[in-house]
A and B are shown apart, each in its own frame.
Chain A
Amino acid sequence: MTALKAPAERVRLAWMPQYSVAAAVAAMLVVGFLPFVKMGLVVNGFVLGAIIATGAIGLTLIYGNLGFANIAHGDYMAMGAYVAFTIITGLLPLVGIEGQGFGPFTFGYSLLIALPLAAAVVAVGAIALDIGIYRRLRNRQVNPVVIAMASLGLAIAVRGLIQIIWSSEKLQFPRESRQVYHLPMDVRVPPDSIFIGGLAVVLVIGVYVLLTRTKIGKAMRATADNPDLARVSGIPTERVIWATWAIGGGLAAIAGVLLAVFQAQLLPSMGWEFLIPLFAAVILGGIGNPYGALVGALVIGVSMEVSTQWITPSYKHAVAFIIMIVLLLARPRGLLGGSA
Chain B
Amino acid sequence: MAGIYAVFALGLNVHWGFTGLFNIGIAGFFALGAYTAALLTSPAADPLLFEEFAFAGDWAQLGFLDLGIDLWFVLALAAAGAVCGVIAVIIGYVTLRLNDDYLAIATLGIAESVRLFFLNEKWVANGSKGLYQIPQFLEGWLPSDKYNYLYMVVVIVVLAALFIMVQRVMQSPWGRVLRAIREDEVAAAASGKNVFRFKLQAFALGAVIMGVGGALFAHHIRFVSPLTFDPLLGTFIIWAMLMVGGSGNNLGAILGAFVVWGLWVGARFLPGELADPNYRFFMVGVLIVAVILLRPGGILGELRRVTRRRGERSAVRLDDG
Q: Using a CB–CB distance below 8 Å, which chain A residues touch chain B?
A: 63, 68-69, 71, 133, 136-137, 140, 142-146, 148-150, 152-161, 163-164, 167-168, 269, 272-273, 275-276, 279, 283, 312, 314-315, 317-318, 321, 324-325, 328-329, 332, 340
Contacts and interface: CB of A to CB of B under 8 A. Distances in A.
A154 B231 contact: no
Contacts of B108: 275-276, 279
B20 interface: yes
A160 B278 contact: yes
A158 B120 CA distance: 29
Interface of B: 20, 22, 24, 94-95, 97-102, 104-106, 108-109, 112-113, 116-117, 119-120, 231-232, 236, 239, 243, 276, 278-289, 292-293, 296, 318-319, 321
A164 B278 contact: yes
A150 B116 contact: no
A150 B282 contact: no
Contacts of A283: 102, 105
A307 to B, nearest CB: 13
Contact of A318 (B20, B106, B113, B321): B113
A69 B104 contact: yes
A157 B119 contact: no
B281 A156 contact: yes
A293 B215 CA distance: 40
A69 B105 contact: yes
Contacts, number: 138
A153 B287 contact: yes
27 contacts: A69-B105, A133-B293, A137-B293, A142-B319, A142-B321, A145-B22, A145-B101, A146-B321, A150-B289, A152-B24, A153-B285, A155-B285, A156-B236, A164-B276, A167-B278, A269-B231, A273-B112, A276-B109, A276-B112, A314-B116, A314-B119, A315-B116, A317-B113, A321-B112, A324-B106, A328-B98, A332-B98
Given A137-B292, A314-B120, A279 B105 contact: yes
A315 B116 CA distance: 7
A216 to B, nearest CB: 26
Contacts of A321: 106, 109, 112-113
Contacts of B94: 325, 328-329
B109 to A, nearest CB: 4
Contact of B289 (A144, A153, A318, A332): A153
Nearest to B90: A325
A91 to B, nearest CB: 23
Contact of A328 (B22, B102, B283, B293): B102
Given A63-B101, A68-B101, A160-B282, 6 more contacts: A148-B22, A150-B292, A152-B239, A154-B285, A155-B285, A329-B94
A273 B109 CA distance: 10
Contacts of A133: 289, 293
A148 B285 contact: no
Contacts of A161: 282
B282 A154 contact: no
A142 to B, nearest CB: 6
B184 to A, nearest CB: 10
A69 B24 CA distance: 12
Contacts of A164: 276, 278-279, 282
Contacts of B292: 137, 146, 149-150, 153
B293 A136 contact: yes
Contacts of B231: 269, 272
A340 B236 CA distance: 27
Nearest to A159: B281
A273 B108 CA distance: 10
A160 B288 contact: no
Nearest to B281: A160
A144 B113 CA distance: 26
Nearest to B247: A149
A81 to B, nearest CB: 17
B287 to A, nearest CB: 7
Contacts of B22: 145, 148-149
A157 B109 contact: no
A317 B112 contact: yes
Contact of B109 (A167, A324, A329): A324
A228 to B, nearest CB: 18
A143 B104 contact: no
Sort A-B residue pairs by CB-CB distance and give the 3 closest, nearest first: A160-B282, A157-B285, A156-B285
A182 to B, nearest CB: 31
Which of B105, B119, B292, B296 gathers the greatest number of chain A CB atoms within 10 Å? Answer: B105
A79 B285 CA distance: 15
Contacts of A159: 281, 285
B112 A318 contact: yes
A332 B293 CA distance: 32
Given A69-B104, A133-B289, A324-B105, A160 B239 contact: no
Contacts of B104: 69, 71, 148
A159 B282 CA distance: 7
Contacts of A324: 105-106, 109
Nearest to A151: B289
Contact of A143 (B95, B105, B106, B321): B321
Which of A146, A272, A312, A314 gathers the greatest number of chain B CB atoms within 10 Å? Answer: A146
Given A140-B319, A150-B288, A276-B112, A145 B20 contact: yes
A148 to B, nearest CB: 6
